[in-house]
Amino acid sequence: MSIKLSDTIPGYSNKNYPWDEIINELPMSGTLIEVGTACGLSAVTFAEKFEETGRDYTIHTIDHCVGIEIDGISYTRYQQLEYINQVVEAWDNISFTRCDFFKRYLEPPTVLFLDAAHTYQDTLNILRRMKKAEIILVDDYMPAWPGVMDAVDAFQKSTNKELTVFETAHDNIMSCAMFK
Ligand SMILES: C[S@@+](CC[C@H](N)C(=O)[O-])C[C@H]1O[C@@H](n2cnc3c(N)ncnc32)[C@H](O)[C@@H]1O
């Protein structure tokens, strides 16, 4: 089996993530905005899965890049940016902006993938700003992240959007909420 770029980038949304179930739910083409690039693992995995399934997407990922710890290893902002550069160089349909989400105006995309601060207020504020996205995916809708769960539940109550939760439990539990 050939090595993919996603095998070499550190990150959280690894092989145990419910990728295939999620990708199946997405339209065949559109734009995807990701808030929370980290080192680019989820962005490149979206690109690989979109290609595998014949989907045509433009992916824009943003992060303020202040350094990050993944699996007990600390990555400086410069290391993050080096990994992100590899991802952007490899895929013509991925672009990256280093910025704070709240300081930019971004047009709501076809798909929003939210994997940023995990606090109640930030999560709810981002969801409100992006409520016109056709599909909203919120990573880590699980008890370990009560801020994310509460914000997703509050958003669901206020919008009445349909909520689906994808879960995968292997060596660790991963979960993602989807609004359609
Ligand atoms: C959990 S990590 C993202 C993991 C990545 N999606 C992956 O699968 O490997 C969260 C990231 O969100 C970024 N972040 C948090 N709040 C942000 C904001 N307001 N604007 C931009 N980036 C933000 C952090 O810098 C961090 O890199």
Residue 116 belongs to a domain with what CATH number?
A: 3.40.50.150
How far is it, in rounded angstroms, from Cα 77 to Cα 65?
A: 5
- The answer, yes or no, to whether any atom of ligand 1 lies below 6 A from the CB of 9, is no
How far is it, in rounded angstroms, from Cα 137 to Cα 175?
A: 10
Mean pLDDT of 73-83: 98
Q: Which of 140, 149, 59, 148 is nearest to 106 (CA)?
A: 59
- Residue 94 clears pLDDT 60, i.e. is over it: yes
Q: Which is more confidently placed, 14 or 122?
A: 122
* Distance from Cα 1 to the centre of ligand 1, integer Å: 30
User: Which numbered atom of ligand 1 lies nearest the CA of 9?
Assistant: 9
With the most atoms of ligand 1 within 8 angstroms of its CB, the residue from 78, 115, 176 to mutate is 115
pLDDT confidence bin for 1, thresholds 50/70/90:
low
With the most atoms of ligand 1 within 8 angstroms of its CB, the residue from 63, 121, 128 to mutate is 63
Instruction: For residue 125, give its domain range.
Output: 5-179
**pLDDT at residue 170, rounded to an integer:** 53
- How many domains is the chain built from? 1
Q: What is the DSSP string of the chain?
A: -PPPGGGTS--SS-TTS-HHHHHHTS-SEEEEEEE--TTSHHHHHHHHHHHHTT-EEEEEEEE----EEETTEEE-HHHHHHHHHHHHHH-TTEEEEES-GGGS-----SEEEE-S---HHHHHHHHHHTTTSSEEEEET-STT-HHHHHHHHHHHHHH---EEEEEEESSSEEEEEEE-
Mean pLDDT of 33-54: 97
- The answer, yes or no, to whether any atom of ligand 1 lies below 6 A from the CB of 68, is yes
User: Which numbered atom of ligand 1 lies nearest the CA of 17?
Assistant: 8
Percentage with pLDDT > 90 across the chain: 87
- The answer, yes or no, to whether any atom of ligand 1 lies below 6 A from the CB of 77, is no
Task: Write out the two tokens for 57.
Answer: 């997407």
- The answer, yes or no, to whether any atom of ligand 1 lies below 6 A from the CB of 137, is no
Mean pLDDT of 67-74: 95
**pLDDT at residue 91, rounded to an integer:** 98
* Distance from Cα 37 to the centre of ligand 1, integer Å: 5
The dihedral through the CA atoms of 166, 4, 58, 26 has a sign that is negative
- The answer, yes or no, to whether any atom of ligand 1 lies below 6 A from the CB of 102, is yes
Assign residue 4 a region: left if phi > 0, alpha if psi is -120 to 50, beta otherwise? beta
**pLDDT at residue 174, rounded to an integer:** 80
* Distance from Cα 100 to the centre of ligand 1, integer Å: 10
**pLDDT at residue 172, rounded to an integer:** 58
